[in-house]
Amino acid sequence: MKLQVEMDEAQLERPVRMTGGSMLIEALKREKVEVLFGYPGGAVLPLYDKLYGSGLFHILTRHEQGAIHAAEGYARISGKPGVVIATSGPGATNLVTGLADAMIDSLPLVVFTGQVASTVIGSDAFQEADVLGITMPITKHSVQVRHVDELPIAIKEAFHIAATGRPGPVLIDIPKDIAVSEGEFKYNQELELPGYQPVTEPNHLQIRKLVEAVSRAKKPVILAGAGVLHAKASEDLKNYAEQQDIPVVHTLLGLGGFPADHRLFLGMAGMHGTYTANMALYECDLLINFGARFDDRLTGNLDDFAKYATVAHVDIDPAEVGKNVPVHIPVVGDAKRVLKELIHQHGKKAEASEWLAKQDQSKKEFPLWYEESKDVIKPQKLLEMVYTHTEGNAIVTTDVGQHQMWAAQFYPFKTADSWVTSGGLGTMGFGLPSAIGAQLADRSRKVVAVLGDGGFQMTLQELSVIYELQLPIKIIILNNESLGMVRQWQEIFYEERYSHSKFVSQPNFNKLAEAYGIKGLTITNMAEAEAELKDALHSEEPMLINVLVEKEENVYPMIAPGKGIQQMTGVKP
Amino acid sequence: MKRIITITVLNRPGVLNRITGLFTKRLYNIESITVGHTETEGVSRITFTVEVEDHKQVEQLTKQLNKQIHVLKVTDMTNQNVVARELALIKVNSPAASRLEIYGIIEPFRASVIDVGKESLVIQATGEPGKVEALIDLLKPYGIKEVARTGTTAFTRSSKRNTPEKATFIV
């Protein structure tokens, strides 16, 4: 067993000579990295050699995609950068999906990829790929280390850039020779990033304008996105909404930022949002957006979105302001600071009692709905049961598709850091590995991975990791033997021509789980569903729960593509 | 509409790639691009001319450029009072009979002949892109064999008289 690389603060005040590999280990310790997700290979062997006996907690996933989604889940729940290591070539290219996912959903990641030795870069060497070139458009920043002395500062910059401003993935490509050559390790130096100065303090005048707009408004609404969660501002959001009596709608990614059981909550907005939330966005005269990027799945046809409203957009990323929706009051800054400032500066409250009464009425009249059944299991019903038996305290992760939308609709999120989903990129296969990361970020909470049978089969090999670490994750597969959302669209928009959306064969999920050492359970009918689910959710071991649900159930209500936010179908049974 | 945008960047590997990649990703069409060192060590200056649809696109473009970690400053110079210059090398057919004529044409443009062959001349022209364009047009009848242009590089004028909304590409 190799000796652990240990340095005290004093020693690190002055430069110490060590190899690139040792630098990485030391830097990760300096950054207080709790867990790494990765997969070794030729080009990163020198790094893995230094990892051996280093005391750092590394998780060997079964695919690099698993590693990066796990890191995303970890980042989402812990609020700290998720750290990933992969080898050159195929190892690195397997990270592409996760990088794009983290980029669009603003999750902080620090990703290390190995690269072939500097001497053969550009020669199409074994396992060589132009990783920087491939990943540039889907990273917040990336760098290839050309000299070992640059490595420590590159790592320090990466952690800083990933976690500050609008968070995002940062990639460091390390040629193999850099990992073995010796240089000076110095980590206490100040960062010099003149081109990177995120604005966190909002402009005073813009805040003033917003305060005045609120006092004039009769129909104000707050749209809260994931920016609220990134800024850890959910408490401030609640205080502000209550102080001003403004109703709140959430984006898909923002769920949990405002308590779903709050009197001012109107539900999720967007394609499968609530009628009340969408109509509020349509009719409002003042829209205050905190940290949402006006995604097309949220806005529907832009011509109808917030048609009559003065739009205020609070975002830490100036490029988001005015990108999709014209903005009258731009506020660049950290959501928490802006909210604190708004609470502090508050003027006259909006005269919105009529508007609020209308929302209350609308919530009663147009709740989310589904047709109950005594025999077949309705996915919505099952998610309600999950909510009941976890008392709404679980962390829920999902893949992408119908199950994701039902989870967003029928599991009311009460707190921030309860919801891990792939919003912007819509990545199937995200739910299982991200559950691993989420559980590692918070061991004390119950993690439920709600998956579709399609997405599960994209990254199911990570069951191995769940078994190995005995993570008590409950994997719930809402099994409709098809790609449910694809099937739904084919039904509605392609004249029921079900082109390749139904699985002809499926594995025996119970046996599959058992093969990985995990208990499998299949729930087939409504009569037993509640009792079986309850027991499963209360058990302390990992479990795969395969639920045979109504196969042709669709997600409603819905805004069809191209339609305006007020043109929802399936609002009532 | 055409815009001239200058960016100062830290001179690091991959910076230009990152910036041009951003243009590709968001469907902005680069018409020309010039890059060179500045008076500050480690800092380079890039001048683009781009074709965009509207002001919204320009705003989005400059904001996206500003987001890049190694970008120090982005300036849309189009509506400012600028000095814009381009260098072009033009190889044109010139049998002995037409040679004088060609000299006569390039003289008012203050272009110069930098290489003389039996059948052709190489002319060097510098100036605003429109001027270079005009010269090339005049030389076309003689048969242009090759043209190499650097693309626009630009500076704001020292006197800060702004001429809003004025198209800069008028010669």
Over residues B143-152, the pLDDT tens digits come to 999 999 999 9
Contact by Cβ (8 Å): A438, A77: yes
Lookup result for tokens 């025999």: A375
A92: tokens are 């690195």
B106 burial class (0-12, 13-18, 19+ CB within 10 angstroms)? buried
Chain B hits for A137, Cβ within 8 Å = 21-22, 25
For A310, the 3-state DSSP assignment is: strand
CB contact at 8 A, A344 and A328: no
Strands B2-10 and A543-548: unpaired
Contact A62, A191 (CB under 8 A): no
Catalytic choice (A50, A140, A176, A238)? A176
Nearest to B63 among A140, A194, A318 (CB): A318
User: Does residue A385 carry a catalytic annotation?
Assistant: no
Q: What is the largest CA-CA distance in chain B?
A: 57
Q: What is the C-alpha separation between B122 and B39, in angstroms, rounded?
A: 31
Residue B143 is predicted with a pLDDT of: 94
- Strands A265-268 and B2-10, how do they pair? unpaired
| Residue A493 identity (one-letter amino acid) | F
Q: Kindly list the residues from chain B whose CB atom is less than 8 angstroms away from the CB atom of residue A136.
A: 14, 17-18, 21
Chain A residue closest to B57 (CA)? Answer: A323
Can you state the angle between helices A526-538 and A379-389, rounded to 10 degrees? 40
Interchain pair A319, B17: CB under 8 A: no
The answer for residues whose C-beta is within 8 angstroms of residue A79's C-beta and 6 or more apart is A230, A232, A417
Q: Nearest-5° angle of CA A565, CA A566, CA A568?
A: 85
Rounded mean pLDDT, B124-141: 94
Handedness of CA A74, A75, A78, A83 (dihedral sign): positive
- CA atoms in the 13 A half-sphere facing the CB of A365: 10
- What angle do the packed helices A151-163 and A20-30 form, to 10 degrees? 30
Rg value, chain B, Cα: 18
Condensed to tens digits (0 to 9), the pLDDT of residues B15-72 reads 999 999 998 888 888 999 999 999 999 999 999 999 998 989 999 999 999 999 999 9
Mutate to test the interface with B, among A134, A141, A164, A192 (most CBs of B within 10 A): A141
The token pair that represents A35 in the structure block: 């867990």
H-type alpha helices, A143-274: 151-163, 176-180, 204-216, 226-230, 234-244
Write down the pLDDT at residue A13: 61
Catalytic status, residue A381: no
DSSP class of A127: T
CA of A304 to nearest chain B CA: how many angstroms apart?
A: 19
How far, in Å, CA of A231 to CA of A227, rounded? Answer: 6
- Output the tens digit of pLDDT for each of chain A's 573 residues: 334 445 555 555 677 999 999 999 999 999 999 999 999 999 999 999 999 999 999 999 999 999 999 999 999 999 999 999 999 999 999 999 999 999 999 999 999 999 999 999 999 999 999 999 999 999 999 999 999 999 999 999 999 999 999 999 999 999 999 999 999 999 998 999 999 999 999 999 999 999 999 999 999 999 999 999 999 999 999 999 999 999 999 999 999 999 999 999 999 999 999 999 999 999 999 999 999 999 999 999 999 999 999 999 999 999 999 999 999 999 999 999 999 999 999 888 888 999 999 999 999 999 999 999 999 999 999 999 999 999 999 999 999 999 999 999 999 999 999 999 999 999 999 999 999 999 999 999 999 999 999 999 999 999 999 999 999 999 999 999 999 999 999 999 999 999 999 999 999 999 999 999 999 999 999 999 999 999 999 999 999 999 999 999 999 999 999 999 999 999 999
Q: Do residues B145 and B93 touch, judged by C-beta distance below 8 A?
A: yes
Q: A136, B17: Cβ pair inside 8 Å?
A: yes
Q: What is the 3 state secondary structure string of chain B? A: CEEEEEEEEECCCCHHHHHHHHHHHCCCEEEEEEEEECCCCCEEEEEEEEECCCHHHHHHHHHHHHHCCCEEEEEECCCCCEEEEEEEEEEEECCHHHHHHHHHHHHHHCCEEEEECCCEEEEEEEECHHHHHHHHHHHHHHCEEEEEECCCEEEECCCCCCCCCCCCCCC
* pLDDT for B133 beyond 60: yes
pLDDT of residue A285: 97
**Residues of B engaging A, defined by a Cβ cutoff of 8 Å:** 9-10, 12-14, 17-18, 21-22, 25, 56, 59-60, 63-64, 66-72
Instruction: Please give the structure tokens belonging to residue A23.
Output: 């630098």
Give the Cβ contact number of residue A69 at 10 Å: 35
A11 is catalytic: no
What is the reported pTM?
A: 0.94
Q: Compute the distance between CA of residue A315 and CA of residue A332 in angstroms, rounded to an integer.
A: 5
- Burial string for A221-236 (b: 16+ CB within 10 Å, else e) reads bbbbbbbbbbbebbeb
User: A144 and chain B: CB distance < 8 Å anywhere?
Assistant: yes
Query: How far from each other are the two terminal CA atoms of chain A, in whole angstroms?
Result: 66
- Give the sign of the dihedral formed by CA B122, CA B126, CA B130, CA B135: negative
pLDDT score at B96: 87
Q: Tell me which residues of chain A, numbers 413 to 452, contact chain B at a CB-CB cutoff of 8 Å.
A: none
Enter the tokens of residue B43.
């800092």
- Comparing C-alpha atoms, which of A421, A323, A414 is closest to residue A102? A421
Strand partners, A452: A478
Q: What is the mean pLDDT of chain B?
A: 89
Question: Which structure tokens are listed for A295?
Answer: 């995604």
Q: Are A172 and A142 in contact (CB under 8 A)?
A: yes
Is A257 within 8 Å of A234 (Cβ atoms)?
Answer: yes
Rg over CA atoms, chain A: 24
Q: Please tell me the predicted confidence (pLDDT) of residue A110.
A: 98
B69 with A196: Cβ contact below 8 A:
yes
Asked if the C-beta of A196 comes within 8 angstroms of chain B's C-beta atoms, the answer is yes
Q: Kindly report the backbone phi and psi dihedral angles of residue A439, in degrees, each rounded to the nearest multiple of 5, phi listed first.
A: -65, -35
**Known catalytic membership, residue A336:** no
Interface test with A, best of B18, B46, B65, B67 (most A CBs within 10 A): B67
A317 interaction partners in chain B (CB closer than 8 Å): 67
pLDDT grade, residue B81 (50/70/90)? confident
Interchain pair B21, A136: CB under 8 A: yes
Judged by CB atoms closer than 8 Å, whether chains meet at B67 and A317 is answered as: yes
For residue B13, the distance in angstroms to the closest alpha carbon of chain A comes to 8
Question: In this complex, is the C-beta atom of A322 within 8 Å of any C-beta atom belonging to chain B?
Answer: yes
